[in-house]
Amino acid sequence: MNRRHFLLSSSMAAAATIASPLLLAQEPPTEPFRRIGPNSEDKTKVLAFFQFSCPACRATHKLLDTWGTSLPNSLSFEFVPVVYPDMSVIASARAWLAAGRLGREAQRTFEIAAYQLIQEGGHDPVQTATWAVVARQAGLSHSAYSQAWQQIGRDDVENLGHVFFRNQVLATPSVVLGGRYLVTPDNVNGNEALFTQLLNGVASAVIEGRTL
């Protein structure tokens, strides 16, 4: 699977290390997940980190979206675009947040259109016009989306960046469960059935309050 791995710049690495000292000192994984945190802010969440330029994210997006709806009310499932100092990444996050202002269903159709246009259509994510095209293909109202785009501020995007760094995400797609365990398709060599089983097992432990 074509995943996206992140090479942190020295300044980003320093910031990430302050937030989480273990980020740059990981031992080779011996378990089918990576231990992080714990992050109390995400104790009752399942966070699926992605970016629209990542083929593996596109390949697993529907699987994760469907799986997320199966979780009990005690765990909330959320997609989270990665955010770090890169103009295309920041613009993508802003665009996704704007679609979210129109409701989760609108955001879902936006995600599908964004994957297609960014990965197949060759559209530049840095350009504001790209996201207007994505919104149009997703069937969103031009005026409503434009208004939502204007409402997204720097703080909104930076908040996503904080979530990204505190969960020590090194590649996409990555799924963080309960602010404690990070799972990727690489843990099961890209096997979707085993990936789902792994997610179910870790989610059960989080729900039951068990330590793996």
Mean pLDDT, consecutive 10-residue stretches, the chain (212 aa), reads 54 43 49 95 97 97 97 97 96 98 97 97 96 98 97 97 96 97 96 97 96 94
Tokens 């960014």 correspond to what residue? 118
Q: Counting beta carbons within 10 angstroms of the beta carbon of residue 172, is it exposed (0 to 12), middle (13 to 18) or buried (19 or more)?
A: buried
**Alpha carbons 166 and 156: distance in angstroms, whole number:** 16
Tokens read off for 170: 């090194």
CA nearest neighbour of 207 among 38, 40, 39, 46: 46
Q: 51 near 170, Cβ under 8 Å?
A: no
Q: Beta 76-81 vs 45-50: how paired, if at all?
A: parallel
| pLDDT of amino acid 21 | 41
Question: What does pTM read for this prediction?
Answer: 0.87
Q: Roughly how many angstroms between the first and final C-alpha of the chain, as a whole number?
A: 27
Q: Which two tokens stand for residue 198?
A: 């792994």
Residues 5, 170 contacting (CB under 8 angstroms):
yes
Compute the distance between CA of residue 204 and CA of residue 198 in angstroms, rounded to an integer. 10
Across the beta sheet with 181-183, the strand order is 34-35, 181-183, 174-177, 45-50, 76-81
Amino acid at 100: G
What does the pLDDT read at residue 2?
63
Rounded Cα–Cα distance for residues 31 and 79 (Å): 24
- Paired with 181 in beta bridges are 35, 177
